[in-house]
Amino acid sequence: MSAVAGSSHRIADVVVASRWKLLGHAGSTAVNPALLALVHRGAAALPAPLESCTRVPPTSSDGTLVCLGFEPDVFFVPLGHTSDPFGGKPFQCVPGDNEVVGCVLPQATAEVEDMETGAVARVAARHGVPFVAMRATSDGAGDPLGDRGFPTQFFDYYRLAAKNASLVTRAALADLHRLADDPASRPICKLLAKRRWRRAAARLKETS
């Protein structure tokens, strides 16, 4: 899962949690250890630097170019939080193609807190689907325009954050592709195929 979130980290930092807590539900859900190990490896070999500049507003070609006063980074944290501010009721989208709240989706082109990941993690675990999430900070610390909070920061920085989350996701997928092409990695691939996630994660850490 690749998306944006609120965070105590800086805007555009990417935060990857080992477990997700869905508020209102007991316990927390662990992400897949092998996928988490792949993200660790991918974060060390990103296909491009994490981005630090964006137009504000991001949907305007003549918006003001705003650059952060730091280089974003990837952080691995023990726990992410998911809450439901809509009380179990579906969010009513706005007619049209607004890319944030619109009913028409655009064409494909805590330390971390959101409204989706914990729920998705629970469903994935229930069905035995390997899961990990990369959430980049859209509203958090380090705003060069001042500490304006949610939702102002979100609407200014969600595209920047989404790009950085996708960079980390791409890096993890690229590392998985390299494993498939490397004869020396066949033992790891066999462990993944047999769903021996923890053993695969241990081997991935040994070879990183």
**What confidence tens digit (pLDDT) does each residue in 145-194 have?**
998 888 899 999 999 999 999 999 999 999 999 999 999 999 999 999 99
Provide the pLDDT for residue 100.
Answer: 65
Is 184 part of any domain? no
Is 158 part of any domain? yes
Alpha-carbon distance of 203 to 161, in angstroms, equals 31
Pairing of strands 134-141, 2-10: parallel
pLDDT tens string 39-52:
999 999 999 999 99
Half-sphere exposure (Cβ direction) of 71: Cα atoms closer than 13 Å: 3
Per-residue CA distances from 202 to 74, 94, 169, 197 (Å): 21, 46, 20, 9
Alpha-carbon distance of 169 to 41, in angstroms, equals 11
- Number of structural domains in the chain: 1
pLDDT tens string 2-32:
999 999 999 999 999 999 999 889 999 999 9
Provide the pLDDT for residue 110.
Answer: 75
Provide the pLDDT for residue 99.
Answer: 66
Is 112 part of any domain? yes
Quote the percentage of the chain above a pLDDT of 70: 88
Range(s) of the domain holding residue 61: 2-170
CATH assignment of the domain containing 157: 3.40.50.1580
Is 182 part of any domain? no
The verdict on pTM exceeding 0.75 is yes
Is 15 part of any domain? yes
Is 207 part of any domain? no
Provide the pLDDT for residue 105.
Answer: 46
Mean pLDDT, rounded, of the chain: 91
Give the pLDDT band of residue 111 (cuts 50, 70, 90).
confident
Is 177 part of any domain? no
Per-residue CA distances from 81 to 1, 16, 43, 89 (Å): 15, 12, 22, 19
Alpha-carbon distance of 43 to 172, in angstroms, equals 7
Contact status, residue 43 vs residue 156, Cβ threshold 8 Å: no
